[in-house]
Amino acid sequence: MNQSASGKEKVPVIAQVRQMGAMFWIANGSEALERLAFFGVRAVLPLYMFGSDSVLHLSMTEKGVIFGIWALIQCLLPMISGGYTEAYGYRRSLVAAFSLNALGYLLMANIITLASDSHAGRFSLMLAAACLVGIGTAIFKPPVQGMVAKTLNEGNSSLGFGIFYWVVNIGGALAPTLAAMIRGTAENPTWENVFYGAAIVSAINLVFCLVFFAEPEKDASKARQNPVMVFAETMTQLWQDKAMFRFLLIISGFWLMFMQIWDLLPNFIDEWVDARDVGGVLTSLLGDGAKALLTADGALKPEMMININSYTIIIFVLPLTWFLGRYSMLFSLVLGMAIAMIGFLGAGLGHAGYLVALFIFIFSIGEIICSPKFSEYVGMSAPPDKKAQYMGYSNMPFAFGWFIGNIISGPLYDTFSSKTRLAKRYLIEELGMTGDELTAIGDKEIFPALAAKLGLDQYEAADVLWQAYHPWVIWLILGAVGLASLIGMVHMARNKSQRRP
């Protein structure tokens, strides 16, 4: 594998930054605001939908179906909407995107009011809200990412996409922290405030883009085409670029694994990880200021454990991006994938809070290395007049990986890792209870009943189930998919023609 970025002249950092125009920074600002709204919601949604203290009380399989459909919409639509953006205008796309996002967040805030006690109603409304946000986000991505790609060149693309990733994660870091504070506690929940806040941020972003976002020149030929013709040309372009198609297909398995850090790990931490040790460290640093970020028993909230990812990226993405600029894009991509996979497995196999926190940090270092390089590779491989279209293509592996990951992880979790299910199993197999007795207790009280019968607190009782049934096995299954993708990427990097970047 060629490690050096051969033939690439090293431009001083200050000179690279000066080459980035005003629209680069405006696009970054809009992305940061959109991520502030999106990640604030996504940080708490797994807990809002599933768990003993959740609001919607959906099963993990139902949650996986919603997230999976959301993934298909949000990730496949940009493959088409990128072409529409080039044809019909960037600003028009942004207006549609922010309007749909705000509607989706408002619907999430009012699901219980609209659905009342109907389980099917809660599921259907949550799915509808997810689809609205998915469509809005899908329309938003190509114009913003396309504008970033248009303002960069081969001399500053590595630093430029690193800065883009850094700015994105400022919103990504602040969002879960704010969401953890304003969602309240189990005793006094205020979940709806998270969704109303996201809708307000979307409205602010709409005004920001209308005022500052400059409209690039439209593709006149596409503007004369109808939407069906734009779609056909967009998909034909991808099929003709066989190397790009293979690249996106290979990396899909990695994104399948990758996305479960946000979609599955919060629930796993909530049910299985004793994060009181991390909560104690935070309390020693912040004192009473840490209370809003902790559960009632002093454990760090799951969304804040996951947020180690964003804070790590903010601190390390720029120096690492600068350092890795001397290496080829595919070498950095493979290196980052390997490190991220180690962190992924460690975070899922850990039972102690400090170990999970450590491996989330390791995962984040891998993400810093590989994720900007993925965007850079796609953006720099695109023809000059197809930047938004190709950035739309970059969502294809997220679509397949995120969709399939959620569709399979839900049933896998319900089978191997659900604490309620495993508590039922233990009560029947080890303590001799009958199915009728368990039905009389009710699912929400099953685990507390187990802890009471064993004379243990919730963490000690969870450890009994951990040792008996190995709920961590789900992470080995998902990690195996990521490993297959990594092997495929190593093979591609070794055989890659020197004619491509």
**Per residue in 437-459, is it b (16+ CB within 10 Å) or e — as a string?**
ebeebebeebbebbbeeeeeeeb
Q: Does domain 13-217+225-417+471-495 have CATH number 1.20.120.850?
A: no
**Residue 51: its pLDDT value, please?**
83
pLDDT band for position 227 (cuts 50, 70, 90): low
What are the structural domain ranges in the chain? 13-217+225-417+471-495, 422-468
Q: Tell me how far CA of residue 449 lies from CA of 268, 439, 452, in angstroms.
A: 20, 12, 5
Q: What is the pTM of this model?
A: 0.83
Share of the chain above pLDDT 70, in %: 92
Paired residues of 184 in beta bridges:
189
**Residue 7: its pLDDT value, please?**
46
**Residue 498: its pLDDT value, please?**
46
**Per residue in 299-313, is it b (16+ CB within 10 Å) or e — as a string?**
bbbbbbbbbbbbbbb
Burial class (CB in 10 A: 0-12, 13-18, 19+), 93: buried
Share of the chain above pLDDT 90, in %: 51
Whether residue 501 has pLDDT greater than 50: no
**Six token digits for residue 464:** 């009994």
The stretch 380-389 carries a mean pLDDT of: 73
Q: Tell me how far CA of residue 143 lies from CA of 203, 386, 402, in angstroms.
A: 18, 11, 22
pLDDT in tens, 86-138: 777 888 889 999 999 999 999 999 999 999 889 999 999 999 999 999 999 98
pLDDT band for position 395 (cuts 50, 70, 90): confident
pLDDT band for position 184 (cuts 50, 70, 90): confident
pLDDT band for position 146 (cuts 50, 70, 90): confident
Whether residue 463 has pLDDT greater than 90: yes
* DSSP-assigned states of every residue in 208-219: HHHHHPPPPPP-
Q: How far is CA 445 from the centre of its chain?
A: 31
**Residue 9: its pLDDT value, please?**
56
**Per residue in 344-369, is it b (16+ CB within 10 Å) or e — as a string?**
bbbbbbbbebebbbbbbbbbbbbbbb
